[in-house]
A and B are shown apart, each in its own frame.
Chain A
Amino acid sequence: MSQKTATKRPVQRSEMSKAQWTWKEIKRNKTAYFMVAPFMILFIIFTVFPVVLSMVLSLTDFNMLQLPHWLGTENFSRLFLDDEIFILACKNTLIFAAITGPVSYLLSLIIAWFINELPPKIRAAVTPIFYAPSISGQVYLIWKTLFSSDSYGWVNATLMDLGFISTPVLWFEDADYVMGLCIVVALWTSLGTAFLAFIAGFQTIDRSMYEAAAVDGIKNRWQELWYITLPTMRPQMMFGAVLSITQSFGFGAIVTALCGFPSVDYAAHTIMNHLDDYGGSRYEIGYASAIAVVLFVVMITCNIVIKRALSKVGE
């Protein structure tokens, strides 16, 4: 194991045991630890510790007021066996994630690929149009105006004008529509960091690879994409996948903003909303922690499985 560090001579490993060597190396790199420390301290306080704390609290009945009692796995059995709304939320979240995750990922990839075919000046003008909804915060509330439940909503007005409907449809108050609409709006806001990573990925590929490929018999842009571009871009695709999956499980605020809380018949109720309900409103911290733990495990598992699958692209 060769350690390349400048300041002092690296310690010879063979002269001592592994623990001694590690300790020497730690002392020699004190500055490096100082540099990483401020971030790591905050990261541990606000990310690592909260996850661990959730896991512990999920086994208790903590409610911010009384001392917690140990419940074992009771919270989890209550979640899966007695809480019908949670089961509904799980179903909704999975549908939400199963649609928005892959669709937003593919849209990001395809749009980035197509944009990359444009001349640089046009490319720079077009990129912000696709990226803007994801950085503009509350702007998605405009969908509430477009799909407003009265005839001032553009969609209702247009449909009435064309004679498809005679009375306004209550889009965000109808259990048949809320889920679909929330998915559309979520997709609209989803061309974010992953999308930019893909654009960058396409630009880093060496042109000469395509020329060589053309000589070797690649016939069209689809073959180019599959045999050259995607395998070269695999690291970006990984990164994009992680972000898309995380994002697709995290939608909750959009649902509340568009449909109110709870959404009609809980038709668009996600695990995030359920978590907000128990954690933010009812202060059943123990139970809310159990919900958080379930969500955490689902997100991490899904990410790891998809990463495994993606590492096989182009092999």
Chain B
Amino acid sequence: MKLKKLRTRNHRVVLNRSAGGDIGISFFLILMGLFMFLPMYYVIIQAFKPLDELFMFPPRFYVIDPTVENFKDLFSLLSDSWVPFSRYIFNTVFITFCGTFGNLLIASLAAYSLAKLHYPGRNFLFQVIVLSLMFHSTVNQVTHFIILSAFGWIDTLLSVIVPAMATTIGLYLMKQFMETSVPDTVLESARIDGASEFRTFWIIAMPMVKPAWLTLIIECFKNLWNTGASIYIHSEELKTFNYAIQQIVAGGIARSGAGAAATVVMMIVPITVFVFSQSQIIETMGSSGMKD
């Protein structure tokens, strides 16, 4: 048998990889990377452009004389509004924190129960959760309005926070991750030592699924952080930062610098959270699979 020369990379044999394929793949990745990255990059560049460069023809993909003027404008524009700027930020942070924390707490508890305890109705409950992943929650927004007004929650922050606590995607990922990464034997020995089910959950299971917390947090965080003009809230002092940005951008072309600055402020937070939790999130997603 004729032996063919094996390709190596870092002194390891590389199987089934042709050089042509490597080049093709790199080319495709770079192309797609540019498509994804350039608009993001353009926002950042716009945010640092002084006024005369914003109106330069043709528009440039670089900035000659970078300035933080747009960020300052953003603060002065918002401080002119009759609701203080800090109020919008507080609302966004408050909604995001309460909603995410609530979701983390009750979804983990439910995930533990669905993953690790056996009782009648368990599979049915999980099937319903999976079914809920199959339609978009905005389908329910009309009836949400009726329910929220029955509770008297219209025009309160509760109308955004409480429904967000019942987000199913985090629960789904948490449950799948618990199934594979929390061994039954460990739980068993905790119970033999006399720990209650709640204690077993809190002391044993929860610390073992930290990667799943982060995943649930980012799933919930990204929606709440980006809450815009909710149809359930009309008081100006309860509106979110994202809503304030929309108002600035709606101010037209003269505001495009401040608008870009605001967008940069908004996007930096979720991206930073993701970059630091990336490896744990990917670890959780490893068990995300759905069975037929």
Contacts of A141 in B (CB 8 A): 249, 259, 263
Cα(A193)–Cα(B168), bound, Å: 13
User: Are B290 and A239 in touch, CB under 8 angstroms?
Assistant: yes
User: Are B188 and A6 in touch, CB under 8 angstroms?
Assistant: yes
Q: How many residues of B contact A (CB 8 A)?
A: 110
User: Are B140 and A54 in touch, CB under 8 angstroms?
Assistant: yes
Contacts of A250 in B (CB 8 A): 136, 138
- What total count of A-B pairs have CB within 8 Å? 323
B81 within 8 A of A: no
B64 within 8 A of A: no
Give residues 37-79 of B contacting A (CB, 8 Å): 37, 39-40, 42-43, 46, 54-55, 57-59, 61
User: Are A146 and B42 in touch, CB under 8 angstroms?
Assistant: yes
Tell me the nearest residue of chain B to A35, going by C-beta: B113
Given A203-B286, A224-B16, A242-B134; A138-B171 close (CB under 8 Å): no
User: Are A157 and B135 in touch, CB under 8 angstroms?
Assistant: no
Interface size class, chain A: 35 or more
Given A242-B290, A272-B138; A36-B110 close (CB under 8 Å): yes
Cα(A134)–Cα(B218), bound, Å: 12
Cα(A45)–Cα(B159), bound, Å: 13
User: Are B219 and A193 in touch, CB under 8 angstroms?
Assistant: yes
Contacts of B109 in A (CB 8 A): 35-36, 38-39
Of the listed residues B32, B191, B282, B284, the one surrounded by the most CB atoms of chain A closer than 10 A to its CB is B282
Q: How far in angstroms is the closest Cβ of chain B from A230?
A: 13
Tell me the nearest residue of chain B to A162, going by C-beta: B58
Give residues 77-128 of A contacting B (CB, 8 Å): 107, 110-111, 114-115, 117, 124, 126-128
Stretch among A171-179, A261-269, A294-302 lining the B interface? A294-302
Contacts of A134 in B (CB 8 A): 222
Per-residue 0/1 for A194-226: is the Cβ within 8 Å of any B Cβ (1 yes, 0 no)?
001101110110000011001000111101100
List A residues at the B interface (Cβ < 8 Å). 3-7, 22, 25-26, 28-29, 31-33, 35-36, 38-40, 42-43, 45-51, 53-54, 57, 64, 107, 110-111, 114-115, 117, 124, 126-143, 145-146, 148, 150-154, 157-158, 160-161, 188, 191, 193, 196-197, 199-201, 203-204, 210-211, 214, 218-221, 223-224, 233-236, 238-239, 242-243, 245-247, 249-250, 252, 272, 275, 279-280, 285, 288-289, 292, 295-296, 299-300, 303-304, 307, 311
* 25 residue pairs A–B, Cβ–Cβ below 8 Å: A28-B119, A35-B117, A36-B114, A39-B166, A42-B165, A47-B140, A51-B140, A64-B146, A111-B32, A117-B22, A124-B278, A136-B40, A139-B43, A142-B40, A145-B260, A154-B58, A193-B219, A197-B289, A218-B16, A236-B285, A279-B142, A280-B141, A285-B146, A292-B139, A295-B139
Instruction: For the A-B complex with A47-B137, A200-B288, A201-B285 known, give 19 more contacts whose Cβ atoms are closer than 8 Å.
Output: A6-B192, A32-B119, A35-B113, A40-B110, A45-B166, A126-B29, A130-B32, A137-B270, A138-B242, A139-B266, A145-B256, A145-B260, A152-B54, A188-B39, A191-B36, A199-B282, A235-B288, A235-B289, A300-B135
